[in-house]
Amino acid sequence: MAVVTGASSGLGRAFAAGLADAGADVAICARRMDRLAETAQQVKATGRRCLSIQADVTEVEDCGRVVSDAVESLGHVDVLINNAGIATSYPATREDPDEFRRVIDVNLMGAYWMAQACGRVMKPGSAIVNIGSILGSTTAGLPQAAYSSSKAAIIGLTRDLAQQWTGRKGIRVNALAPGFFPSEMLDEYEPEYLERQLTRVPVGRVGYPQELVAAAVFLASDAASYITGVLLPVDGGLLTT
């Protein structure tokens, strides 16, 4: 059984549907409960069970409740996709402290609280996949100190949890670094900006959601049983340029 955070739209919805296609029952959570309905419909269309839970990952109690509800309804937690995230774009000299903290709270702290809650109940052979970003390793011409910092921190979090849990608890922890994929964040970019950035991508285009989902399913599966603590870029080669 898999838990997917930030599953109300975009890549979170794709992760949930992709895991269901691969045979998993799925617990989905997000702040926008009304938008989880479409995700649940896609999961159930595969014949798998789906549990929708309203939750804010910045609240430790919410994270614990997601996991306890998932265990109660679906029996156990084998996979966590830590997808919930937000982004801002403010010049560093003018960024409001509360805005910076909010990004860190959702993208880093939320991922940690969810991993912590799942780590307490996961059995050996389970897997956590943290969703990072290429912006944890490079820049993309926008003032995104908060977002980039949070995604760089995900790399360290992934490495440390893998060191703590893989040998002792049998829980593998890895991270994906998506490049440019269809998402609410991508929709906010000016077309000219995206065109400039795509010149850095050897494949020459944005990614298809199924290409990122395939990587997540791989890392969550037994096919990746000898992989832990790594950051896997899915970026069309951007980080090679």
Question: CB-based contacts of 98: which residues, under 8 Å, 6+ apart?
Answer: none
| Confidence band, pLDDT 50/70/90 cuts, at residue 191 | confident
Q: What is the mean pLDDT of the chain?
A: 95
Residue (of 24, 114, 40, 111) closest to 76 by Cα position: 24
Q: What is the pLDDT of residue 141?
A: 82
**Complete domains list, the chain, with CATH:** 2-232 (3.40.50.720)
Residues 170 and 126 sit within 8 Å (Cβ to Cβ): yes
The answer, yes or no, to whether residue 189 has pLDDT greater than 80, is no
Q: What is the pLDDT of residues 57-79, one digit of tens each?
A: 999 999 999 999 999 999 999 99
Annotated active-site positions, please? 147
Q: How deeply is 74 buried, as exposed, middle or buried, from its count of CB atoms within 10 A (0-12, 13-18, 19+)?
A: buried
Distances (CA, A) of 27 to 81, 111, 121, 172: 10, 16, 15, 20
Q: What is the CA radius of gyration of the chain?
A: 17
Q: Is 197 exposed, middle or buried (CB count within 10 Å of its CB: 0-12, 13-18, 19+)?
A: middle
**H helices within 86-144, ranges in order?**
97-104, 110-119
Please state, in angstroms and rounded to a whole number, the distance separating the CA atoms of residues 83 and 28: 11
Q: What is the pLDDT of residue 15?
A: 98
Structural tokens at position 91: 């010049």
Q: Residue 54: name the closest of 72, 73, 34, 71 by CA.
A: 34
Q: Is the pLDDT of residue 226 over 80?
A: yes
- Is the whole model's pTM more than 0.85, yes or no? yes
φ/ψ of 59, rounded to 5, equals: -100, 115
Q: Is the dihedral of CA 125, 76, 19, 163 positive or negative?
A: negative
Helix (H), strand (E) counts: the chain = 9, 7
Q: What is the average per-residue pLDDT within 101-121?
A: 98
pLDDT value for 190 = 75
Angle at Cα 87 formed by Cα 82 and Cα 93, nearest 5°?
Answer: 135
Please report the pLDDT score of residue 233 as a whole number: 98
